[in-house]
Amino acid sequence: MDKSILDKRNLAKLKALNNPKVMQIVEKYIKLCKPAKVTVLTDSKEDIAYVRKLALDNKEEKKLAMKGHTIHFDGYYDQARDKANTKVLISGDVCLSKAVNCGERESCLKEIFEFLDGVMKGKEMLVRFFCLGPINSEFSIPSLQITDSAYVAHSEDLLYRQGYEEFKRLNGSENFFHFVHSAGRLENMKTADIDKRRIYIDLEEDRVLSINNQYAGNSIGLKKLALRLAIKKAHQEDWLCEHMFIMGVHPEGKNRVTYFTGAFPSACGKTATAMIPGQTIIGDDIAYLIADNDGRVRAANVEKGIFGIIQDVNPVDDPIIYKTLATPRELIVSNVLVKDGKPYWLGMGQELPKEGFNFSGEWKQGKKDNDGNEIPPAHKNARYTIRINDLDNTDPKADDPKGVPIGGIIYGGRDSDTNVPLYQSFSWHHGVFLGACIESETTAATLGKEGVRVHNPMANIDFLVIPLGIYIKNHIKFGEKVDMPPLIFSTNYFLKGKDGKFLNEKVDKKVWLMWMEGRIHEEFHAIETPIGFIPKYKDLKKLFKQIFDKEYTKEDYEKQFTIRIKNLLARFDRIKEIYQKEPGIPSIFVEHMNQQVKRLEKAKEKFGKENISPFEFENQ
Ligand code: SPV
Ligand code: MN
């Protein structure tokens, strides 16, 4: 190895790990990417500070007026996850699933290795070590990140636990993930060759290769790229790897905490749920779930930070995050509007300047892009990156190596006209069915058109690397393995009335949460409907009064909880069609689908109408 590229000091840091595979990987990508210089980083404060400074020196980040705050811009066409160019590499013609975007391994590797060849010429390669999950625990997965982006490496310091020491604990084992990323050729610090953006998931080598991008959902190895590798690992080792938050729910006046996980498609209220006032947060995006020896499900946060959507974070709707973003600390914001060193975003609760600097460069109100579309002041998918323990509501068990026992699982979606705001599944199996039937309208978190209704089982479809049938089977088996499976609930915060207005206030989710928590402790009865158990009016009325001192009317309840048979049947028709094309769907799932449709048809016949009031089910 050329000593002017990898000097003695950096080499020594690698050697101290005593891990031949780490050495091989680093050497391989030095040879291929041809960086001018390689810097190996440990968990030391000095090394972490080095990365932070490098992001500024490289101009990948700029200081904002508030101490510790920096701004990063992704390119104009690099503002969200690129689903089309993210592929799971498959050898031969193994049939995965309609839902999984696959590429032929050999030709994809050939392509991306060509793109990677010399891509770091004149640049500095950073070699970093992190740990997915709490360190030194059952959940830990050591991960090696190689990148030429100091922004990526800096973000990972905020988002993941340090892992250099974890690699030492590996004792030379090859059991780790690795990620190679390059932002590619840069113009004004933006990726120039966006048309050559590729993210290839190579399950055979437990690695992901990602090139020509900067947006964190594409670039940061440990986030959505590791999620894909971990889904395969979980499948092989009989645990679950989910696109879920973890939170502690604390009902008022009761001396207890009940932990929940929740899976919501991107930009559908997942972080907002985990941040409901008065509760505690463990994680907002990715969870590992294991069945413990006491017959319980335990979950741990894979991350230690939040890469959250900044739109609509304001003192009224998100007071805790707003305060964190408005006080000095180390944090990164991306793709917002900057004027005089201050960041501005959509829905922040104040008027935005008419000009400044944003993801399109110098910006003035009315500026249009090349396609003639007006450029908003800040991108809808603009984000903030913070440490979770910088929030006032961090759960004391956030880093517990044992994780936390899970009492409930919530599946959410964005649905304007079909699902009631809240219901509970009849059983674990029915709950798996419910999660596997999530349908949601697309958002700005992925490239492409917004507002299109798509099927998104367990909100995890974008990240699946195993056939959907196997994934569902794993969920079914997982619940059978434990004595006390969590109760499974469904929420929909986006139901609209005939006038097109939302039927619920944003804050109502706190009431739903307290009802779910109470159900786990057998404090509420419920009404049986064809889709599952829904809350009784009297219980919600009490909760609204207790929590918000608000009169919750019968009319509101009835509008929200009417069972919309026609829309539900249409929805299950759509989903049935998707599953009919999927190989290997477990028979128990098909059975649930058939029973579900039958129950809806029976109710339609019995009540002789398409929209049935919850009171009718209560009185039957
Ligand atoms: C999501 O889109 O689900 C996110 C952000 O959590 S990203 O990192 O882009 O996946
Ligand atoms: Mn996510």
pLDDT digits (tens, 9 = 90+) for 453-508: 899 999 999 999 999 999 999 999 999 999 999 999 999 999 999 999 999 999 99
* Residues recognised as catalytic: 268
Asked if residue 93 has pLDDT above 80, the reply is no
48-51: Cβ within 8 A, 24+ apart: 48/157, 48/162, 51/126, 51/128, 51/150, 51/153, 51/154, 51/157
Residue owning the nearest CA to atom 3 of ligand 1? 266
* Rounded-to-integer distance, Cα 44 and Cα 40, Å: 11
Residue owning the nearest CA to atom 1 of ligand 1? 266
Question: Encoding tokens for residue 499?
Answer: 């006038």
pLDDT digits (tens, 9 = 90+) for 144-163: 999 999 999 999 999 999 99
Asked if residue 305 has pLDDT above 70, the reply is yes
Lowest-pLDDT choice from 210-219, 289-298, 447-456: 447-456
- The confidence band for 516, taking pLDDT boundaries of 50, 70 and 90, is very high
- Contact (CB, 8 A) for 354 and 320: no
Report the atom number in ligand 1 closest to the C-alpha of 224.
Answer: 10
For position 95, what pLDDT does the model report?
Answer: 61
Report the atom number in ligand 1 closest to the C-alpha of 309.
Answer: 5
**Strand duo 487-492 + 422-424: pairing:** antiparallel
Report the atom number in ligand 1 closest to the C-alpha of 243.
Answer: 3
Report the atom number in ligand 1 closest to the C-alpha of 216.
Answer: 8
- Contact (CB, 8 A) for 248 and 282: yes
* Rounded-to-integer distance, Cα 391 and Cα 374, Å: 35
Q: What is the mean pLDDT of residues 82-100?
A: 86
For position 11, what pLDDT does the model report?
Answer: 98
| 459 CA to centre of ligand 2 in angstroms | 9
* Rounded-to-integer distance, Cα 157 and Cα 141, Å: 16
Give the closest ligand to the alpha carbon of residue 218: 1
Q: Which of 260, 284, 533, 265 is nearest to 410 (CA)?
A: 260
| 446 CA to centre of ligand 1 in angstroms | 8
Give the closest ligand to the alpha carbon of residue 216: 1
- Contact (CB, 8 A) for 533 and 525: no
- The confidence band for 377, taking pLDDT boundaries of 50, 70 and 90, is very high
| 383 CA to centre of ligand 2 in angstroms | 12
| 474 CA to centre of ligand 2 in angstroms | 21
Residue owning the nearest CA to atom 7 of ligand 1? 217
- Contact (CB, 8 A) for 406 and 298: yes
Looking up tokens 């922040």, which residue turns up? Answer: 348
CA distances from 75 to 186, 199, 341, 376 (A): 10, 17, 20, 15
pLDDT digits (tens, 9 = 90+) for 387-423: 999 999 999 999 999 999 999 999 999 999 999 999 9
| 66 CA to centre of ligand 1 in angstroms | 26
Residues in the chain: 620
For position 140, what pLDDT does the model report?
Answer: 98
Residue owning the nearest CA to atom 10 of ligand 1? 217
Q: Is the dihedral of CA 311, 313, 314, 317 positive or negative?
A: positive
- The confidence band for 97, taking pLDDT boundaries of 50, 70 and 90, is confident
Residue owning the nearest CA to atom 5 of ligand 1? 217
- The confidence band for 554, taking pLDDT boundaries of 50, 70 and 90, is very high
Q: Is the pTM of this model over 0.75?
A: yes
**Ligand 1 mutation pick, 285, 446, 454, max ligand atoms within 8 A of CB:** 285
Domains in the chain with CATH codes: 8-60+73-237 (3.40.449.10), 241-304+398-619 (3.90.228.20), 308-390 (2.170.8.10)
Q: What is the mean pLDDT of residues 334-357?
A: 98
For position 452, what pLDDT does the model report?
Answer: 86
* Rounded-to-integer distance, Cα 454 and Cα 130, Å: 34
Residue owning the nearest CA to atom 9 of ligand 1? 217
Report the atom number in ligand 1 closest to the C-alpha of 223.
Answer: 8
| 309 CA to centre of ligand 1 in angstroms | 9
For position 92, what pLDDT does the model report?
Answer: 79
Cβ < 6 A, ligand 1 pocket: 81, 216-217, 223-224, 266, 285, 307, 445
Give the closest ligand to the alpha carbon of residue 443: 1
**Ligand 1 mutation pick, 227, 245, 266, max ligand atoms within 8 A of CB:** 266
- How far separated are the first and last CA of the chain, in Å rounded? 78
Asked if residue 99 has pLDDT above 90, the reply is no
For 532, counting Cβ atoms within 10 Å of its Cβ (0-12 exposed, 13-18 middle, 19+ buried), the class is buried
Give the closest ligand to the alpha carbon of residue 159: 1
Average pLDDT over all residues of the chain: 96
Report the atom number in ligand 1 closest to the C-alpha of 81.
Answer: 9
* Rounded-to-integer distance, Cα 434 and Cα 426, Å: 10
Residue owning the nearest CA to atom 4 of ligand 1? 266
* Rounded-to-integer distance, Cα 342 and Cα 357, Å: 10
* Rounded-to-integer distance, Cα 1 and Cα 24, Å: 11
Q: Report residue 234 CA to chain centroid gap.
A: 17
For position 555, what pLDDT does the model report?
Answer: 98
Report helix, strand or coil for 386.
strand
* Rounded-to-integer distance, Cα 489 and Cα 477, Å: 18
Portion of the chain with pLDDT greater than 90, in percent: 95
**Ligand 1 mutation pick, 155, 224, 446, 458, max ligand atoms within 8 A of CB:** 224
Q: What is the mean pLDDT of residues 46-51?
A: 98
Asked if residue 443 has pLDDT above 90, the reply is no
| 266 CA to centre of ligand 1 in angstroms | 6
Q: Which of 193, 221, 206, 211 is nearest to 108 (CA)?
A: 211
